[in-house]
Amino acid sequence: MIKARGLARQFRTRGQTVEAVQGVDIDVAPGELVGFLGPNGAGKSTTLRMLTTLLRPTAGEARVAGCDLLTDPAGVRKRIGYVAQGHGSGDDQKVIEEATLQARFYGLPIGKARHRVNELFESLELTEFANRTAGALSGGQKRRLDIAMGVLHIPRLLFLDEPSAGLDPQSRSNLWGHIRALHKSGTTIFLTTHYLDEADALCDRIMVIDHGKIVAEGTPDELKSQVAGDLVQFDTDTPSVAAEITAKVDDARELHVEGNTVRFRVPRGDTELPGLLRALDQADVALLSVQVHRPTLDDVFLTMTGRSLREAANA
């Protein structure tokens, strides 16, 4: 659905050249929900604006939704949906009229336009606000309206730029539900975010961008398992026996005993733990509690760049 090679964009401002995106390769298969994660200024929006034809790349090439980005931008535009950051629609018109007009712009006859808008408003829980102006909607309602506007023409590929930026936790999780439903209905989705939890909760696959370059790529689980591994911790009345048995686990590292607590790292806690628990049981070691901490995506970012994503975002 997306195949980009060496996509790059420079900006010249006040005599200086900013290398906003430095030759990225992006592959997105039909049906995927891919997250483009990075701190502020990493190059996410610039990449998205290139892929959606709004900004011409300074180098590289791409096919998007079956059309060549450089030679057939109109074809790309027809086949994709794009929801930009912030709310773009006018504030003095009823939202249902605005959406119907937008559907007419996409070439739907009036009856079909009304039907599509009603159907979308229903699924995005906007029906009760249909006669309000956009200015009278909450942040979460506006974002859902933005999404409705972006998918009126039933695009196979939808780009979302920071979909839940600025929303409260409840509106965010509600919006995620709608994004998941769109994905389930067959829409391929490419979204940018600087929220780790959003990437983790929504995406099949994540690409991490920093300073205009892709620094990591994989499923959330793959990325996390590239880092130090899972931290396993258990409490027992016989910690020294437990530690002795744990030391025999091939991949166990950083084994520490502190009071009744035994702590160590393994690449995958879920696959290593059953065998270890059996061995502990055979040695009559009674466990009082067991915890497995998976590394977070922030640990991934820290490993790849030497900085925490949170620090980078606040910089």
Report how far residue 61's alpha carbon sits from residue 122's, in angstroms, rounded to the nearest whole number. 39
Of 4, 34, 42, 120, which one interacts with ligand ATP (CB under 6 A)? 42
Work out whether the CA dihedral 18, 209, 181, 78 comes out positive or negative: positive
Buried b (16+ CB within 10 A) or exposed e, 93-130: eebbebbbebbbeeebeeeebbebbbebbebbebeebb
| C-alpha of 208 from chain center | 10
Question: In degrees rounded to 5, what are phi and psi of residue 113?
Answer: -60, -45
Residue selected from 45, 52, 102, 305 as contacting ligand ATP according to rule CB under 6 A: 45
**In this structure, are residues 44 and 192 in contact, taking their beta carbons and an 8 Å threshold?**
yes
Choose which of 23, 28, 33, 43 interacts with ligand ATP (CB under 6 A).
Answer: 43
- List the one residue from 1, 24, 44, 302 that touches ligand ATP (CB under 6 A): 44
Contact with ligand ATP (CB under 6 A) among 143, 144, 194, 205: 194
Considering the complex, what minimum distance in angstroms separates the CB of residue 47 from ligand ATP? 7
Residues that contact ligand ATP, how many (by CB under 6 A): 13
Cβ distance to ligand ATP smaller for residue 193 or 236 = 193
For ligand ATP, what does the binding mask look like between residues 46 and 75, x meaning CB under 6 A?
A: x-----------------------------
Contact call for residues 144 and 121 (beta carbons, < 8 A) = no
Q: Is 11 near ligand ATP (CB under 6 A)? A: yes
Taking CB under 6 A as the rule, does residue 13 contact ligand ATP? Answer: yes
Place of tokens 């829980």: 125
Task: Answer yes or no whether residue 38 interacts with ligand ATP by CB under 6 A.
Answer: yes
Q: 3-state DSSP call for residue 79?
A: helix
User: Nearer Cβ to ligand ATP, position 56 or 293?
Assistant: 56
Report the 3 state secondary structure along 281-306.
Answer: HHCCCCEEEEEEECCCHHHHHHHHHC
Distance CA 195, CA 296 (A): 12
Contact region with ligand ATP (CB under 6 A), list: 12-20, 27-35, 94-102, 135-143: 12-20
| Minimum distance from residue 255 beta carbon to ligand ATP (Å) | 40
The reply to whether 312 sits near ligand ATP by the rule CB under 6 A is no
Beta strands 261-266 and 157-161 are unpaired
Nearer to ligand ATP, 12 or 248 (CB): 12
Are β-strands 157-161 and 2-13 bridged in parallel, bridged antiparallel, or unpaired? unpaired
The two tokens of residue 226 are: 């590239």
**Contact stretch for ligand ATP (CB under 6 A) within 35-43, 94-102, 144-152, 243-251:** 35-43
- From the list 40-48, 71-79, 89-97, 181-189, the region that binds ligand ATP by CB under 6 A is 40-48
Q: Does 18 bind ligand ATP (CB under 6 A)?
A: yes
164 binds ligand ATP (CB under 6 A): no
- Please pick, from the candidates 40, 185, 289, 291, the single residue that binds ligand ATP as defined by CB under 6 A: 40
Q: Counting contacts by CB under 6 A, is residue 166 touching ligand ATP? A: no
Does residue 41 belong to the site contacting ligand ATP (CB under 6 A)?
yes
Measure the CA–CA gap between 309 and 287, rounded to whole angstroms. 36
Strands 80-83 and 253-258: unpaired
Residues of this chain that interact with ligand ATP (CB under 6 A) are 11, 13, 18, 20, 38, 40-46, 194
